[in-house]
Amino acid sequence: MANVCFQMKGTAFTAVVMDLYDYSADLFLAQLKQKINTAPQFFNASPLVLNLAPFEGELKDEQLEQIVAACREMGLQPIACRGAGIELKYTVMGLGLASLPSAKTRSTDIQAEPAQSKAAHVKASPLAGNKEPAFRPSKVITKPVRSGQQVYAEGCDLIVMAAVSQGAEVLADGHIHIYGPLRGRALAGVKGDTNARVFCRQMEAELVSIAGYFVLNEKLRELCWKEAAHAFLEGESIQVSAI
Amino acid sequence: MAKIIVVTSGKGGVGKTTTSAAIATGLALRGFKTVVIDFDVGLRNLDLIMGCERRVVYDFVNVIKKEATLNQAMIKDKRTPGLYILPASQTRDKDALTMEGVQTVLDNLAKDFEYIICDSPAGIEQGAQMALYFADEAIVVTNPEVSSVRDSDRIIGILQSKSLKAEQGGTVKEHLLLTRYNPERVAAAEMLSVADVEDILAVPLLGVIPESEAVLKASNQGAPVILDQESQAGQAYLDAVSRLLGEEVEHRFLDVQKKGFLKRLLGGK
Ligand SMILES: Nc1ncnc2c1ncn2[C@@H]1O[C@H](COP(=O)(O)OP(=O)(O)OP(=O)(O)O)[C@@H](O)[C@H]1O
Ligand SMILES: [Mg+2]
């Protein structure tokens, strides 16, 4: 058989999205440093998508260059720009970034595939113009989610009736309920629902995230460790309390 | 109908081949016609543990490539009636096993045998996936330490998503076999306990094989340790075979054994 050099596949993976609201060089750098210091491991070499859609006013070429340079210096890997106006097109290209349309994210069901991504959303873009929330039945998983597996409940809640192992990842657009030990990562409200919660029988998670905000294992160990607990968002911080 | 049982682990060197040889021998001792297949292409080991390396003429890959018939390649065990070995190839071509080829061989074996034991190579890649693809049941071999348990967790995930059974909407029946268990080191918190591993993996426990010098001795002699019925490892494997056949047998050798006064005096082990 002839040697096959490659195969092309479509795939979906999680990346950190930075929604840019405002820019001044000093403030931006300070805030970026602060954010990264909250979870240096998490951000190290994370792929990053710059979302310019929410930016107020007009971003200049040199400002975009500064932003990308600062992100690279801090160890992030900007890979694409979303929502950049036509006037920034050549700057984006010159920076070696891909241009993504500002439309809503396409999501693909990634159930039971080995996790390729190490990063999760820092701030997932909320769906533009979410109208009538149609009823969507929850996704129910009855078997353990094992290390290397990923389960995503798109547009609904996720119920896992067994353990989520270390190295496994469960994601939902809605709430996540886990009726076994949670030892892996649980990310609720991944499309930006700040009311989403994570409930579990036994909290031993590596990471819990809601609408892009997250807490890591070290912090969780101080809160309800190995107890029945739920996590919810209050302002910009995740609260964990016993249930 | 033959039962196909894969012996798998993810992590290497945890005791898959030792276990495949012991369980296959144990099933044959109980009167079931059994064949044990070495899927570890390039690193064949099973024939050594079974003590038949000098009788290997053709191998699994020869059969798949139709260079030999199954009957030419299979080796009849000298000690245990009803037991056959299909050795792996020494070829370095890792892609020598094809899915269709493996299926044909298994289909043919299923006509004659009651149990087909597949000794998987280490890892979670293609070789290991090939060994588990057609399995009805899986013996997941785990050592009581964190990295081995994590790898077992991964391989169980693959069993339940990438096997033929899983693709058809069924499940591969899982058995946990904890090997190289050392109660002293568990007591000293240097190793995970049975309860810890069961808690993490949530798979029914088939057996606990203690760390034992008898295993090394057996492999040097080319006789599966289950035949050394004086040894704790041999007895633990016998128990595991009984449980595999659905019998209820209490677990043994889990606790630190108190040395007798005389033994302590003489420094016996
Ligand atoms: N219960 C035991 N007590 C002591 N030593 C053991 C025990 N089980 C296995 N061993 C030793 O561990 C080593 C690895 O065993 P074995 O070859 O069966 O592992 P394996 O999982 O098949 O390895 P590989 O991944 O390389 O195929 C051997 O030296 C064997 O003698
Ligand atoms: Mg082996």
Predicted confidence band at A60 (pLDDT cuts at 50, 70, 90)? confident
Rounded to whole angstroms, how far apart are CA atoms A154 and A107? 8
Ordered alpha helix ranges (H), chain A: 25-38, 40-43, 61-73, 89-94, 217-220
Please tell me the least confidently modeled range out of A132-146, A156-170, B210-224.
Answer: A132-146
Give the SS3 label for residue A111. Answer: coil
Res B32: pLDDT? 98
Q: Hey, is the C-beta of A223 within 8 angstroms of any chain B C-beta?
A: no
Matching residue, tokens 């693909």: A108
What is the torsional sign of CA B73, B78, B82, B83?
negative
Residues lining ligand 1, CB < 6 A?
A: B 9, 12-18, 40, 45, 122, 179-180, 209, 211-212, 215-216, 219, 233
Res A121: pLDDT? 38
Rounded to whole angstroms, how far apart are CA atoms A200 and A180? 7
**What average pLDDT does the structure give for chain B?**
93
Rounded to whole angstroms, how far apart are CA atoms A169 and B70? 44
CB-nearest partner of B157 from A146, A162, A166: A146
pLDDT at A130 over 60: no
Whether A178 and A187 have beta carbons less than 8 Å apart is answered as no
pLDDT at B156 over 60: yes
Give the DSSP letter string of A45-75.
Answer: T-EEEEE-TT--S---HHHHHHHHHHHHHTT
Higher pLDDT pick, A124 / B48:
B48
* Closest to A139 (Cα-Cα) out of A150, A131, A128: A150
CB contacts < 8 Å between A and B, how many? 36
* Closest to B133 (Cα-Cα) out of B172, B86, B179: B172
What DSSP character marks residue A145?
Answer: B
**Position A58, amino acid:** E
Res A109: pLDDT? 35
Please tell me the least confidently modeled range out of A203-217, B218-232, B245-259.
Answer: B245-259
The answer, yes or no, to whether ipTM is higher than 0.85 is no
pLDDT at A101 over 80: no
Torsion of the alpha carbons at B158, B159, B162 and B167, rounded to the nearest 10: -140
Whether B101 and B114 have beta carbons less than 8 Å apart is answered as no
The 10 Å CB-count burial string (b at 16+, else e) for A129-148 is eeeeeeeeeebebebbbbbb
Whether A187 and A121 have beta carbons less than 8 Å apart is answered as yes
* Cβ-Cβ contacts under 8 Å for B115 (sequence gap 6 or more): B2, B3, B5, B24, B27, B32, B33, B34, B35
Find the ligand nearest to B23 CA. 1
Fold exhibited by the domain A120-242: Pectate Lyase C-like (2.160.20)
Q: What confidence tens digit (pLDDT) does each residue in B112-140 have? A: 999 999 999 999 999 999 999 999 999 99
Give how far B215 is from chain A: nearest CA, Å: 31
Query: What are the tokens at B115?
Result: 């149990």
Rounded to whole angstroms, how far apart are CA atoms A119 and A122? 9
Q: Where are the beta strands (DSSP E) in B2-89?
A: 3-8, 34-38, 75-76, 83-86
Please tell me the least confidently modeled range out of A193-207, B217-231, B253-267.
Answer: B253-267
Give the residue numbers of the binding site of B: 11-18
Nearest ligand 1 atom to the CA of B233 is: 1
pLDDT at B69 over 60: yes
> Is B157 in contact with A162 (Cβ distance < 8 A)?
no
Run of H or E residues at A169: strand A169-172
* Cβ-Cβ contacts under 8 Å for A25 (sequence gap 6 or more): A63, A66
Res A99: pLDDT? 83
Give the distance, in angstroms, between the CA of residue B209 and the centroid of all CA atoms in the same chain: 12
Q: In what side-by-side order are the strands of the sheet with B75-76? A: B75-76, B83-86, B34-38, B115-119, B3-8, B137-142, B173-181, B205-210
Which chain A residues have a beta carbon less than 8 Å from that of B132? none
Q: Hey, is the C-beta of A165 within 8 angstroms of any chain B C-beta?
A: yes
CB-nearest partner of A112 from B161, B171, B202: B161
Probe target for ligand 1 pocket from B44, B215, B226, B253, with the most ligand atoms within 8 Å of CB: B215
Give domain limits for chain A.
Answer: 16-100, 120-242
Res B82: pLDDT? 97
Res B132: pLDDT? 97
Domains, chain B, ordered by start? 3-248 (3.40.50.300)
- pTM (2 decimals)? 0.72
Res A108: pLDDT? 36
* Closest to B8 (Cα-Cα) out of B146, B175, B168: B175
Q: What confidence tens digit (pLDDT) does each residue in A173-184 have? A: 999 999 999 999
Give the residue numbers of the binding site of B for ATP: 11-18
β-pair type (A169-172, A185-188)? parallel
* In CATH, A16-100 is 3.30.1490.190: no
pLDDT at A211 over 70: yes
